[in-house]
Amino acid sequence: MELTTMKTRTANTAFSHLRGLKLAALALGSSLVLAGCAGNPPSEQYALAQSAVNSAVSAGGTEYAAVEMKSAQDKFKQAEVAMHDKQYDQARNLAEQAEWDARVAERKAQAAKAEKAVQDAHQGVQDLREEGMRNTQTVQ
């Protein structure tokens, strides 16, 4: 009976040791995977930010949303430097912020252009009314 008890304890100790090794291997593997993800350059996010900045410039962001456009361009340049320095997490964050600032600038420029078009249309209507009033007065 003592021998059976001793074998059980030995088996439990071996199982605990094996379990500890599995947990250590899992932790090490997870950290390597996470480190591998952090080490990849954010090429896709960088390209999205560059595209958004270019699109905002084309939409008139520098004219109609100068503050947002400057912020987007500055953050994009910072992301470029971070990419060069292989600080990929910082580059990813800056590129993401640059993308959103550029999108805000583009939408603001589009809204300003639309507002200008509405004002021009109202002015055109006003001009037509005045011309119609002059024609009516000259006929009488």
* Pure H helices in the chain: 2-38, 43-58, 61-64, 66-84, 88-139
- Looking at the structure, do residues 86 and 132 belong to the same domain, yes or no? yes
- Looking at the structure, do residues 75 and 130 belong to the same domain, yes or no? yes
- Looking at the structure, do residues 49 and 92 belong to the same domain, yes or no? yes
Distances (CA, A) of 107 to 20, 51, 62, 64, 82: 55, 15, 12, 10, 27
Report the alpha-carbon distance of residue 138 to residue 140 in Å, rounded.
Answer: 6
- Looking at the structure, do residues 55 and 3 belong to the same domain, yes or no? no
What range does the domain containing 7 cover?
Answer: 1-38
- Looking at the structure, do residues 15 and 67 belong to the same domain, yes or no? no
- Looking at the structure, do residues 21 and 89 belong to the same domain, yes or no? no
Domain CATH for 133: 1.20.1270.390
Question: For 84-95, what is the mean pLDDT?
Answer: 96
Report the alpha-carbon distance of residue 77 to residue 95 in Å, rounded.
Answer: 9
- Looking at the structure, do residues 21 and 70 belong to the same domain, yes or no? no
Contact partners, residue 49, CB within 8 Å, separation at least 6: 75, 76, 79, 95, 96, 98, 99, 102
Residue type, 98: A
Two tokens, residue 133:
């009033």
- Looking at the structure, do residues 15 and 76 belong to the same domain, yes or no? no
Residue type, 54: N
Quote the number of domains for the chain. Answer: 2
Q: Provide φ and ψ at 59, rounded to 5°.
A: -80, -5
**What is the band of 131 on the pLDDT scale with cuts at 50, 70, 90?**
confident
- Looking at the structure, do residues 18 and 81 belong to the same domain, yes or no? no
Question: For 129-136, what is the mean pLDDT?
Answer: 83
Q: Which residue has the higher pLDDT, 131 or 61?
A: 61
- Looking at the structure, do residues 56 and 21 belong to the same domain, yes or no? no
Distance, C-alpha 16 to centroid of its chain: 46
- Looking at the structure, do residues 54 and 29 belong to the same domain, yes or no? no
The pLDDT value recorded for residue 134 is 81
- Looking at the structure, do residues 65 and 120 belong to the same domain, yes or no? yes
Query: pLDDT tens across 5-34, in order?
Result: 555 555 455 555 556 556 555 555 544 444
